[in-house]
Each structure stands twice: as structure tokens, then as C-alpha cells.
Amino acid sequence: MPTAVQATLKSRKSPVQARSTATVEAIFEATVQVLLQSGPERLTTIRVAARAGVSVGTLYQYYPNKQALLFAVLSRHLRLVVEALERACEEHQYRPVGEMIEGVVNAFVDAKLARQDISLALYRIAAGLGADALGADMRKRSTQALTALLRTASEISPSQAEFAAFMLWTTMAGATRAMLESGSPAGMVRRLRQHLVIMGRSYLMSPEIANRTT
């Protein structure tokens, strides 16, 4: 179920000719480039259009407003991260909790770091309403995948799986964000991975979360 905001921010018309498909892609790429080179403050519709080699009018034929441009970029980025997480969840089902956490943490951190520059630029924009709804969607998908994973862990009480998934996700997301925003020096990445694993594992194996009947 797409939210109202998402509907508003979707592409205005679907391109039917090859020419316009190329135009849409050019505008999307131009948005990424302007975002990374000029920053969100100087990202104007005219600048994006110019970079894409079209006029403003053309831009507005495919994206209903400026927010939609950033929404498109944010959307793809978040989707890639969530999909990486979902894959990791699939792959680590029925494994020991320690392995699960390690697999999930590494997948998440890798995905965020893969486009570190985009991640950072996008953190500054979450402002727009679209981002709020989108972030909520992604959190939902992420916690669902994690819940499903935790349900296959023999060590964990099933009734705790859902909330534990929420805690794991916000921990990974929060810590990775803080690290990126503080410049993410090389050594810190390694340490962050380690400590996220330690924290997640010890949390899940704590008497309150772990399955007492097993």
C-alpha cells in the first residue's frame, strides 16, 4: 500500500518512447551528481535540468516537484540497503545467533558504506515528508526480515522476536549513521562492526530475550 505522499512524489508520467526513458535517467543521474557535487542547499531544479541537458519544463514532465527528485534518489538507496539486509536474513536462517548477527551486521554496514557519499548526503535531507514515510516503510521491511530470521533461532523466545528485531535495526542504523556523520575514520568501521555484533549477540542471548525453555 503506497502512501499518499509516495503517490505525489512518483514520476508524473511513464515514458513511452526510448527518447524519454533516456531523459528520465539523465535527470535522475543529474540529481545524484548535483547532490554530491553541490550539496542539497545548491540543488535547484534549473541546475539539475541543465546538468541533465534538458529544460526545466521537461524535468517537471517527469518529476512533479523538487522533492520528488530527492525522493527518487533516497528511495533507490534505501531499497538497495534493505534488499541487502533481506538477502542476509534469508541466508542465515536456522544458524546460531552469533552467526546470524554477524551476517546481518556485515550486510548492513557494507551496503551503507558501499555508497557512503550518498548515504551522508541523504541523511541531511530526510527532512522532506516523503523521506519520513519512506523511512518508515524501510524500517518496516527491515524489521520484518529480521523478525522472520530471529524466529528461526532456537535460542530466542518467539514472543520477543519482533521487538528484538526493532531494537537490532535501530541499533545498526543509528550507530552506522553516527559513524558516517563523524567522518568514519578507517579504524572505526572495523570496531563498529565488532561492537555491533557483540551488542546484538549479548542482547539476544540475555536471559530476558533468550528462550528459557530450550
200-to-52, 66, 137, 149, 214 alpha-carbon distances in Å: 44, 39, 23, 14, 20
Among residues 5, 54, 167, 189, the one that binds a second copy under rule CB under 8 A: 167
195 binds a second copy (CB under 8 A): yes
Q: Which positions touch DNA (CB under 7 A)? A: 13, 15-17, 19-20, 23, 42-46, 54-58, 60-61, 64-67
Dist. CA 178–CA 196, nearest whole Å:
13
Dist. CA 134–CA 137, nearest whole Å:
5
Opening angle at CA 40, ends 179 and 174, nearest 5: 25
Cell 541523511 belongs to residue: 123
Dist. CA 109–CA 169, nearest whole Å:
12
Among residues 5, 36, 129, 148, the one that binds a second copy under rule CB under 8 A: 129
Task: Between 15 and 64, name the residue whose CB sits nearer to a second copy.
Answer: 64
14 binds a second copy (CB under 8 A): no
71 binds a second copy (CB under 8 A): no
Task: Between 13 and 191, name the residue whose CB sits nearer to DNA.
Answer: 13
**Helical packing angle, 186-204 and 97-114, nearest 10°:** 150
124 binds a second copy (CB under 8 A): yes
Of these partners, a second copy, DNA, none, which one is at the site of residue 94 (CB under 5 to 8 Å by kind)?
Answer: none
Dist. CA 214–CA 206, nearest whole Å:
14
**Single-letter amino acid code for the residue at 128:** G
Tell me which residues touch a second copy (CB under 8 A).
40-41, 123-127, 129, 132, 135-136, 139, 163-164, 166-167, 169-171, 173-175, 177-178, 181-182, 191, 194-196, 198-199, 201-203, 205-206, 208-209
